[in-house]
Amino acid sequence: MHLIDLRSDTVTKPTQEMRQAMVQAKVGDDVYDEDPTVNHLQEMAAQMLGKEACLFVASGTMGNIVAILTHGGRGDEMILGSLSHTFLYEGGAAAGLAGIHSHTLSNRPDGTIPVEAVEEAIRADNVHFPRTRLICLENTHNRCGGTILTPEYCDAVGQLARSRGIAVHLDGARLFNAAIALGIEPLKLTRSVDSVMVCLSKGLGAPVGSLLCGSRKFILKAKRMRKIVGGGMRQVGIIAAAGVYSLEHNIDRLAEDHKNASRLAEGIDALHGLTCGAEGDTTQPVKTNLVYFKVDGAAVGDPSLDARVLSTRLRTRGVLANPLGSDPNQMRMVTHLDVTAQDIEEALLALKSSLKKT
Ligand SMILES: *Cc1c(COP(=O)(O)O)cnc(C)c1O
């Protein structure tokens, strides 16, 4: 059976062309800075994101913890959203590895945290308090439904941080989705942050890898931290070649994923028993490639139907999607490189028939 995999944009498989680029990659020992493909990838990304330097890392989680380790130390504090990936899904690494205290503020449904709340949360210089060292933003915002932080918002947070001597790290796992949806250069979204992590292995379709960008000085220290967390990767140009390929070929086409996601959301909203919206908020239209929705079993005369049951029924119809979030009725579907417009129509038919008790 042809499976339509909407669990995540991490599930994409490298195409023949991408594999070809990997086979032909020139490699060297990257721990000695001698891998030409890695060096090329890092230079390319630094330029695209408007930073002096860049470091190739194994994953988004590694990029974020390396950034956190580089910006702060034991007993320091970072301010971040209560729905942020770094707070929810990175194994408590900030506390466990960096000894950094997380000061969470509620995310608004659009993925922002109010600038005034950030300002209020910054600690005064007093022996009783931890030192606020870092503010983390996320763009696009996963748990808020793939919402987009605007350049104006990022600039406002950056300005506040600079005025207080605090660094800003941007978890930009899906930053290119944000840039494409806004129709702007990605560096407009990174100009006010000190460091940014982007994933190659999500919508861009590479099998492995993320990039961490910042000043030359920041990246020099980050490289030491990457080594400490086990990220010195030798002839890693084999993998970096897929990253180069993905930056060259797979950015503009993200618009297609967004179009497919909008169509999916429209179809979901038209089905009785399903309502689009992350965290129960139905005010944010789907703008990028993440479609969150809620299942109302009672509305279709089947109170036992929740996200888990729906997911099981979809699987028997060849569609993969997972419950996601704290609400047992919430599900997420993600569009990506390996999902076509036709797949979306089929997924909607599968959803429709899954809502009927058989
Ligand atoms: C996926 C993701 C990460 C982590 O990336 P991995 O490569 O899975 O470790 C970080 N932040 C956000 C917002 C993500 O969606």
State whether the beta carbon of 151 lies less than 6 angstroms from ligand 1. Answer: no
Domain assignment of residue 3, yes or no: no
For residue 329, give the DSSP letter: T
Q: Which of 11, 12, 61 to mutate to test the pocket of ligand 1 (most atoms within 8 A of CB)?
A: 61
Q: Are residues 234 and 277 in the same domain?
A: no
C-alpha 328/C-alpha 294 separation (Å) is 9
Concatenating the DSSP letter of every residue in 156-215 gives HHHHHHHHTT-EEEEEETTHHHHHHHHTS-THHHHTT-SEEEEESSSTT--SS-EEEEE-
Residues of the domain holding 278: 253-354
Give the residue among 215, 218, 178 at the shortest CA–CA distance from 199.
178
What φ, ψ does residue 107 adopt, rounded to 5°? -75, 140
Domain assignment of residue 9, yes or no: no
Ligand 1 atom closest to the CA of 141, numbered from 1: 13
CA of 85 to the centre of ligand 1 (A): 7
Would you give per-residue pLDDT tens digits along the chain (358 residues)?
Answer: 789 999 999 999 999 999 999 999 999 999 999 999 999 999 999 999 999 999 999 999 999 999 999 999 999 999 999 999 999 999 999 999 999 999 999 999 999 999 999 999 999 999 999 999 999 999 999 999 999 999 999 999 999 999 999 999 999 999 999 999 999 999 999 999 999 999 999 999 999 999 999 999 999 999 999 999 999 999 999 999 999 999 999 999 999 999 999 999 999 999 999 999 998 788 888 999 999 999 999 999 999 999 999 999 999 999 999 999 889 999 999 999 999 999 999 999 999 999 997 6
Domain assignment of residue 239, yes or no: yes
Q: Name the amino acid, one letter, at 168.
A: V
CATH of the domain at 297: 3.90.1150.10
Residue that finishes a domain, picked among 194, 222, 249: 249
Ligand 1 atom closest to the CA of 58, numbered from 1: 7
C-alpha 24/C-alpha 346 separation (Å) is 37
Q: Are residues 198 and 346 in the same domain?
A: no
On whether the pTM is more than 0.85, the answer is yes
Q: Are residues 32 and 178 in the same domain?
A: yes
Dihedral angle of Cα 199, 204, 208, 210, to the nearest 10 degrees = -20
C-alpha 42/C-alpha 211 separation (Å) is 8
Q: Are residues 203 and 266 in the same domain?
A: no
For residue 30, give the DSSP letter: G
Into how many domains does the chain fold? 2
Residue that finishes a domain, picked among 196, 228, 249: 249
Whether the Cβ atoms of residue 117 and residue 150 lie closer than 8 Å to each other? no
